[in-house]
């Protein structure tokens, strides 16, 4: 009887040892698995997202493709709590406050750039709405400031598509800018509706199109390459369908 009890005791001990070893192994496997998962996650987060190319060869741009330059608030001005730039449901949203701009993470030279622009309807008077302002900054160079050296294709409601210099007047010959105000009047859509702006860049010469109609062009000058920017200039504004194709 004693011998039988001893055998049962030893048998149970062997079972317990085996279970403990399996438990330790399972615990070790889980730790390794979690560690590998964390390392994989960190590695993936460090990889830049692959650009999305559409059927026409355009790269689609989102807020992640831009950096932000923010102007300083005046002393005593109320503190701004809402982020100037945000993204929701495929739209890049800008509060307009404070002034500043997005600028692309890479520089461009020869390209076609397209964007849809809309000023949300508000209770402001018609004259104020017509002065709603933004712009596409092209060939940004030098230090970031208000405003940088660049060319600007106007996004201002009543001047949309016009081409002008920013930051330094002699980077473009204003007398050689060909602007068609009549075409603009016929093509522009009212505040609250989307306007489509297309910019064609060829060795410093810009040509702008508003809702498919040619509006303005300049002669090639000093600036031929740089960052592309979107202005925040006091007015709420929305952007969508932003894309670029290098030529």
| pLDDT single digits (tens) 125-170 | 667 777 889 999 999 999 999 999 999 999 999 999 999 999 876 7
Is residue 180 pLDDT above 60, yes or no? Answer: yes
- Residue among 96, 106, 170 at smallest CA distance from 135: 96
Q: What is the DSSP string of 166-193?
A: ES-GGGS-GGG-EE-HHHHHHHPPPTTS
Q: Tell me how far apart the alpha carbons of residues 1 and 175 are, in angstroms, rounded to a whole number.
A: 116
When pLDDT is averaged across residues 48-53 and rounded to a whole number, the result is 83
- In the structure encoding, which two tokens stand for residue 121, read together? 């309807």
User: What global pTM score does this model have?
Assistant: 0.79
How much of the chain, in percent, has pLDDT values that exceed 70?
A: 79
Instruction: Decide if 219 contacts 178 (C-beta within 8 A).
Output: no
Helix H or strand E segment including 126: helix 126-130
Those residues whose C-beta lies under 8 Å from the C-beta of residue 246, and which sit 6 or more positions away, are: 108, 109, 110, 111
pLDDT band of residue 3 (cuts 50, 70, 90) is: low
- Of 214, 136, 228, whose CA–CA distance to 178 is shortest? 214
Helix (H) or strand (E) holding 17: helix 2-46
CB-count exposure of residue 2 (10 Å: 0-12, 13-18, 19+): exposed
φ/ψ (deg, to 5) at 166? -130, 145
Please write the tens of the pLDDT for every residue from 65-111.
999 999 887 777 778 889 999 999 999 999 999 999 999 999 999 99
Q: What is the pLDDT of residue 32?
A: 27
pLDDT attached to residue 123: 72
207-235 pLDDT, tens digit each: 999 999 999 999 999 999 999 999 999 99
Under the banding of pLDDT at 50, 70 and 90, the label for residue 12 is low
């Amino acid at each position: 009887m004693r011998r039988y009890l001893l055998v049962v005791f030893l048998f149970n001990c062997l079972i317990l040892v085996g279970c403990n070893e399996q438990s330790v192994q399972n615990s070790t496997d889980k730790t390794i698995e979690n560690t590998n998962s964390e390392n994989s996650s960190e590695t993936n987060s460090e990889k830049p997202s692959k650009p999305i190319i559409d059927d026409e060869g355009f790269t689609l741009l989102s807020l992640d493709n831009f950096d932000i330059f923010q102007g300083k608030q005046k002393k005593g001005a109320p503190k701004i709590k809402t982020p100037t730039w945000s993204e929701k449901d495929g739209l890049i949203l800008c509060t307009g406050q404070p002034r500043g701009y997005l600028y692309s993470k890479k520089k461009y030279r020869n390209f076609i750039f397209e964007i849809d622009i809309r000023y949300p309807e508000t209770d402001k008077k018609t004259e104020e709405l017509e002065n709603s302002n933004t712009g596409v900054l092209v060939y940004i160079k030098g230090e970031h400031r208000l405003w940088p050296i660049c060319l600007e294709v106007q996004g201002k409601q009543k001047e949309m598509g016009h081409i002008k210099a920013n930051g330094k007047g002699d980077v473009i010959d204003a007398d050689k800018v060909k602007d068609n105000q009549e075409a603009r009047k016929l093509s522009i859509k009212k505040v609250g509706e989307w306007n489509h702006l297309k910019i064609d860049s060829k060795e410093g010469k810009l040509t702008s199109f508003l809702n498919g109609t040619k509006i303005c062009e300049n002669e090639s000058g000093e600036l031929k390459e740089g960052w592309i920017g979107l202005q925040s200039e006091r007015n709420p504004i929305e952007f969508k369908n932003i894309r670029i194709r290098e030529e």
